[in-house]
Structure 1
């Protein structure tokens, strides 16, 4: 496995095969993840296990996994990029009270958790609208 300058994990064929094997072993009824250190076994939290299973699935299928970090506080430009909207649209959302923000001097800043919550809420609305369309289609 080789890391490039963007922290992308580039798995070779053998590593893809190994990822698939580990994923198969984890998909059984007792597929809980654990860490063994000095003969002591410590189970991993379920959330961490799901994350690792997702990574293994992507690697097994030959996909690319990008590892990055997001600061707790975002600029308006960065927040707009995460939401897939323009900065003026983001500022309207802030002004309308749709998205909490705070000022650092004269600059508007947003908590990453608030931005992700807004993104999740928008995706939920989109899924609900799509389901409504599908229900209408099924009714014809």
Structure 2
């Protein structure tokens, strides 16, 4: 994904992943993060995301965290939707997905790609 300094990608095979997965699998209850003498409650939404990330890593999938307003290349957007790049370009040209074209290359906001994917899953028109 092309435009965010806050983007982080984690690949499978991390040390301690099995132990972390076991701790997270203990249940959907509260999660507390401790660092030395300090501790903080992890908000439930973030705990769900962490559990999902660890599960994906255990299944051999890389996990990327990026802001919703990140700009994607057409290939990255196509990968998110699970379609070919030419299919994505047709979606852009038909107006099904908004895009910007600051130069020669189109850019698509991740938020728009995810909204399109959600509408498509629900049987909407996007």
TM normalised by structure 2 equals 0.67
Instruction: After TM superposition, list the pairs within 5 Å mapping 1:98-117 onto structure 2.
Output: 98-117=96-115
Q: CA deviation at 1:48?
A: 1.2
1:94 to 81, 92, 99: 92
Q: 1:8 aligns with which of 8, 11, 14?
A: 11
Structure 1 residue 69: Cα displacement = 4.8
Which has the higher relative contact order, 1 or 2, with Cα contacts under 8 A spaced 6 or more apart? Answer: 2
TM-superposed deviation, 1:33: 0.8
Distance 1:122 1:104, change over 3 A: same
Q: Which runs of 5+ in 1 are unaligned?
A: 1-5, 127-140
RMSD (Å), alpha carbons = 3.0
Q: 1:7 to 1:50 in 2, by over 3 A?
A: closer
Q: Name whichever of 40-49 and 70-79 sits farther off.
A: 70-79
Partner SS for 1:34: strand
Instruction: Specify the alignment match of 1:82 in structure 2.
Output: 80
- Displacement, 1:15? 5.3
Q: Which residue of structure 1 aligns with residue 5 of structure 2? A: none
Report if the CA contact (8 A) 1:19-1:57 is conserved: no
Residue matched to 1:130: none
Which position in structure 2 is the counterpart of 1:67?
63
Task: Compare the two structures and name the one with the higher helix fraction.
Answer: 1
For residues 23-66 of structure 1, the C-alpha deviation after alignment (integer angstroms, 9 at most, x for no partner) is 353x16xx21111234343111222101222344456xx52241
Contact 2:21 2:51 survives alignment (8 Å): no
